[in-house]
Amino acid sequence: MHGVGKSFYGVSVLSNVDIDVHPGEVHAVVGENGAGKSTLMKIASGVYQPDSGTLRIAGESVVLHNPRDAQAAGVGIIHQEFNLLPERTVAENVFLGREPTRRGLVDRRAMRARTAELLTAVGAETVRPTDRVGALGVAQQQVVEIVKALSLDARVLIMDEPTAALADHEVELLYALVRRLQARGIGILYVSHRLAEVFDLSSRITVLKDGRRVVTVDTADATPEALVRHMVGRELASYYPPKADAPGTALVTLAGAGNGRLRPIDLELRAGEVLGVGGLQGSGRSALARALFGVEGFTAGRMTLDGRPVRPRSPRQAVRAGIAYVTEDRKGEGLALSQSVLDNALLASRAATPRWFGGGARTTSVRDLLAAVEVHAAGADQEVRYLSGGNQQKVVLARWLAMKPRVLLFDEPTRGIDVGAKAAIHELIRDLADQGAAVLMISSELPELLGMSDRIVVMRDGALAGELPGDASEEAVLSLATGTPHEVPA
Amino acid sequence: MTTLTARRPRIDSTNGVWLALGMTLIVGGILVATDGGSLFGQNSTVSLLQRAAGLGIVAVGQTFAILAGSLDLSVAYVISLTSLIAAETMAGSDGRVLPAILAVVAVSGAIGLVNGLLITKLRINAFIATLGVGLLIKGYLEQGYAGPAGSVPVSFQHLGYDRVGPAPVAFLLFIGVAAVAWLVINRSRFGHHLIATGGDLDVARLSGVRTDWVLIRTHIICSLCAGIAGLYLASRLGAGAPRVGAEGGYDLESIAAVVLGGTVLAGGKGGVAGTVGGVLLLAVIDGIFNQLAVDPFFKQVVRGVVIVAAVAIYALRLRRKVVRKAAA
């Protein structure tokens, strides 16, 4: 790709970007959210058309009018959000839009056979072509995405944040898959926020910032510090804010609390403390947060808040009790995407204390909160969908801050958020704890979990597998999470 | 990759309606028998199947629209219009049956095309677009016709009155239409693309499916089915009738039959087999109440309850499935 530029509604999001990928090479593209990575990838895969610049594949100039053209030209893409139909089978998803036919009808046998071949080729025999995609785990769905791209005989494969939804042990499997693809001579453009991955996998790295290419370096010559400097244009001295000095008093206690998915749990959330919750995906971490928030509440045991027994049976009751929940599914559960920044920030306060008049004062205070958490938006009336992930998360945060919660539950608070905004979110979380709130933070990212938490509990199979101090090692968390005994206890 | 999700036997919502149908037949049969009648007598069965045919053909078309994530509210007026076109073109003459059928196909196809274009090219919500087109046709009908018009030759009335054994020809036509629809939906590329489009428009488009074209074809098919129903009604009534579609409530009832059959109103899931079950269920309920000579208002209440209950059961089951998945 040469000199590629693109603007939306007069706002330039990409200008004069050059990037190339060789057969069998993994070329990583990094940059903050809003740096233009996704736009660049969408141009390469025919979703958007560039305003300027050219695309060449194997030396031939191509124009991609739509995703179909890109497929024909051998460009496959695995989008950040899965592009699969949960109600359809693996084979139907893989061949969607290109179903093989025999005598005018879809040749389902051929479709299944070919899918099985491809699944074997990527070493994922456990997935069956006749499985319904919705019944598969996230990692398996990712495999389906990859197989779908491969079924096109893709020469170039674009992977946009492929690990965003994966747990750590699944990431390993993805690595193996990427190397396998590499060995088959497929050029891979690998977009990621996670620098560790980029260093593990790529041979070259391109940094984008504000829609421009900052630099392309050989991975061997690069350091994480230098990359971060290029990405944010400044050094991030320390990734995480300082931890709490002393643990506070217990604010929430659980005694034998459980429900259909949680085995009885004993736990304390203390004022002024960030309690990290580790574990694999599906280990019950989110179920715990959801139970505390009354989404699918506890059905057994006791929960007390400030010494008084409570058992929220709906989010509304939880909110009234002073509990706030920042969901991991920001776009699905966290925000009304087509509504304004202001409406989203006001959602909880309006719901909890409806009033006809005097809304003005509330609006003012929420505007102040939005400013305090430094939401960067064109205005409070802007639709939330146009904000970057980091800014969206800040809007969610502002909404809860308006409720002055005493207990905050964060589920993957920085998923899909760029490095700069991530640090800002971390600081906000720590500030809240410092002001006396009890914070529970679920994270799949071990550095985040270890860097933020004053205390860590690890979950496995719906139960607490153990508790660790905030300065535990990654190995200690992992061994608790996976249930493998480890020789050096932390 | 590592963990394999436990496999449960697939509970398909389209099976549910057949179960409900069986139970209704048993309970209804007993009720009618204790009342001294018979639900399964020749006469009542024939009239039951006869009733199912018209709605069934429309509902098959509606299944296409709903599976694609769309909806067609214009079908009732298309039925009225095509019944008139058929009867007036035939004008009682045997030789004009074929031209009449062609005219109906052309007009209903064109209406479907308009619906599809409004929805895809002008991006008008399907509800509004098809409602608007329906009202347009209604206006034309009310202005041009005060009552029945045209006449159908006796030869064409075979469609409405003949039968093979206990099965009316029209019912066989409905089953034929449904069978072709099943093949198209489950075995053709278009069918796969249709379900993908209804399941997730963006996913389908990003996978290279030409979703606009899929939706346009879907609406043409839906209108054509309404046209066939119009032909059948013309044959049955012996003439075209400007209000037969709206008075029969074919628009909402066809949607109800599809939803009863387990097709998700939002699209992407379901099928024509369920719709056939839904149509039969509605017809059987009608038949039972006719036999019992129940107050027609009460009949409507029961139908309403059945539809709401069915959808509630599907929703509950879906919800439980989602919860289970989240727990996995």
Of the candidates A67, A84, A132, which has its C-beta nearest B208's C-beta?
A: A67
Residues of B in contact with A170 (CB under 8 A): 1-2
Min Cα separation B255/chain A (Å): 21
Mutate to test the interface with B, among A78, A80, A85 (most CBs of B within 10 A): A85
B196 close to A (CB below 8 A): yes
List residues bridging with A56 in a β-sheet.
Answer: A61
Of the candidates B1, B5, B326, which has its C-beta nearest A135's C-beta?
A: B5
List residues bridging with A468 in a β-sheet.
Answer: A456
Determine the pLDDT at residue A12.
56
Determine the pLDDT at residue A78.
84
Cβ-contact A352, A316 below 8 angstroms: yes
How large is the average pLDDT for residues A243-260?
85
Hey, are the CB atoms on A139 and B2 less than 8 Å from each other? yes
- pLDDT class of B192 with cuts at 50, 70, 90: very high
Determine the pLDDT at residue B53.
94
How large is the average pLDDT for residues A276-305?
88
Ramachandran sector of residue B141 (left: φ over 0; alpha: ψ -120 to 50; beta: rest): alpha
Mutate to test the interface with A, among B7, B201, B207 (most CBs of A within 10 A): B207
Determine the pLDDT at residue B178.
96
Q: Give me the residues of A, 109-128, that contact B with CB < 8 A.
A: 124, 126-127
Hey, are the CB atoms on A67 and B189 less than 8 Å from each other? no
Hey, are the CB atoms on A134 and B191 less than 8 Å from each other? no
Q: Which of A170-184, B130-144, B309-323 has the lowest mean pLDDT?
A: B309-323
Determine the pLDDT at residue A235.
46
Structure tokens at A110: 């051929």
A102 close to B (CB below 8 A): no
Q: What is the mean pLDDT of chain A?
A: 82
Q: Domain A250-482, what fold?
A: Rossmann fold (3.40.50)
Q: Which of A49-53, A244-248, A327-331, B277-281 has the lowest mean pLDDT?
A: A244-248
Determine the pLDDT at residue B19.
85
Residue B147: is its pLDDT beyond 80?
Answer: yes
Determine the pLDDT at residue A52.
80
**Which residue bears the tokens 């030409």?**
B210
* pLDDT tens string B171-180: 999 999 999 9
Helix-strand-coil split of chain A, %, nearest 5 = 35, 25, 40
Cβ-contact B150, B84 below 8 angstroms: yes
Helix (H) or strand (E) run with residue A198 in it: helix A195-201
What percentage of chain B reaches a pLDDT higher than 70? 92
Min Cα separation B187/chain A (Å): 5
- pLDDT class of A7 with cuts at 50, 70, 90: low
Break chain A into its structural domains and give their ranges: 2-232, 250-482
End-to-end CA distance of chain B: 15
Cβ-contact B170, B232 below 8 angstroms: yes
Mutate to test the interface with B, among A41, A87, A283, A460 (most CBs of B within 10 A): A87
Q: What is Dmax (Cα atoms) for chain B?
A: 71
Query: Does the domain spanning A2-232 belong to CATH 3.40.50.300?
Result: yes
User: Among A99, A158, A98, A148, which residue's Cα sits nearest to residue A124?
Assistant: A148
- pLDDT class of B5 with cuts at 50, 70, 90: very low
Residues belonging to chain A: 490
Hey, are the CB atoms on A87 and B268 less than 8 Å from each other? yes
Residues belonging to chain B: 328
* pLDDT tens string B148-166: 999 999 999 999 888 888 8
Pick B8 or B261 by higher pLDDT.
B261
B189 close to A (CB below 8 A): yes
Break chain B into its structural domains and give their ranges: 40-314
Residue in chain A closest to B210 (alpha carbons) equals A97
* pLDDT tens string B243-257: 999 988 899 999 999
List residues bridging with A409 in a β-sheet.
Answer: A325, A440
- pLDDT class of A233 with cuts at 50, 70, 90: low
Residues of A in contact with B262 (CB under 8 A): none
Residue in chain B closest to A462 (alpha carbons) equals B327
- pLDDT class of B8 with cuts at 50, 70, 90: very low
Q: What is the mean pLDDT of chain B?
A: 88
CB proximity list for A86: less than 8 A, separation 6 or greater: A132, A133, A134, B199
CB proximity list for B90: less than 8 A, separation 6 or greater: B96, B97, B100, B150, B151, B152, B153, B156, B234
Global ipTM: 0.81
* pLDDT tens string B9-23: 444 556 778 888 888
How large is the average pLDDT for residues A455-483?
85
Q: Could you give the CA distance from residue A412 to residue A366 in angstroms, rounded to a whole number?
A: 24
Residue A97: is its pLDDT beyond 50?
Answer: yes
Q: Give me the residues of B, 1-20, that contact A with CB < 8 A.
A: 1-5, 7, 10
* pLDDT tens string A38-91: 788 888 888 888 888 788 887 778 888 887 888 888 888 887 667 889 889 999
Structure tokens at A198: 């980029």
Residue A439: is its pLDDT beyond 90?
Answer: yes
Q: Could you give the CA distance from residue B198 to residue B226 in angstroms, rounded to a whole number?
A: 21
Hey, are the CB atoms on B268 and A127 less than 8 Å from each other? no
B315 close to A (CB below 8 A): no
Pick B110 or A37 by higher pLDDT.
B110
Q: Where are the alpha helices (DSSP H) in chain B?
A: 13-34, 42-67, 75-90, 97-120, 126-144, 154-161, 169-187, 189-199, 201-206, 211-237, 244-247, 250-260, 272-291, 296-327
B199 close to A (CB below 8 A): yes
